[in-house]
Amino acid sequence: MNIDNHSVAGPGQTSQWGAETTVPLDQRMGLQGAGSTTSPDPEFAQFYDALMKWVAEFVTLPPGSIQQYLKQYANPGGEQPYGTTQKQMDALTQVMVRMKEQGLEGGAAYKEIKIALVSVSSVNMFIKEFMLDVFKPSEDEDDRENISW
């Protein structure tokens, strides 16, 4: 039996133990910023400008106001593009990337948007978990016997 040592780099190329690069959390979450705006979205740019104008009106943002703004925001066509938690997460992630590129990551607005992203992500995770429980019940026979329809 012949066992060859292959690495991700290819056959015959082994990586040094501990030489792997650490990927920062911002990059894993999609907040890295570098190269993220290669194809600018005019609809998002319009939303971003409206959001920043709205945020600038407040000294301190009330809790939950960013999520409420996302739910009620309507584009020029009258559509509400951020009605679901997944779309809200995507929009807030893009907003954070744009703010980071503009050097606004130290401000109070960035912190509030980060809090809103965590909140929306938690709600999204809860909804997905609930839907999984509803549509894919336990396969344990003992649990099924106790279910009364």
Residue 147: per-residue pLDDT: 61
**107, 89 contact by CB (below 8 A):** no
Close Cβ partners of 11 (under 8 Å, ≥ 6 residues apart): 4
Residue type, 72: Q
Strands 10-11 and 6-7: antiparallel
Close Cβ partners of 56 (under 8 Å, ≥ 6 residues apart): none
Span 54-81, average pLDDT: 91
More confident: 67 or 146: 67
List, for residues 109-128, the tens digit of each pLDDT value.
999 999 999 999 999 999 99
**100, 31 contact by CB (below 8 A):** yes
Share of the chain above pLDDT 90, in %: 48
25 pLDDT more than 80: no
Give the three-class secondary structure for 11: strand
User: Measured between alpha carbons, how far is residue 118 from residues 72, 79, 86, 101, 123 in Å?
Assistant: 19, 25, 12, 20, 9
List, for residues 77-112, the tens digit of each pLDDT value.
889 999 899 999 999 999 999 999 999 998 899 999
Share of the chain above pLDDT 70, in %: 66
Helices (H), the chain: 25-28, 42-56, 65-72, 85-101, 108-135, 141-145
**70, 85 contact by CB (below 8 A):** no
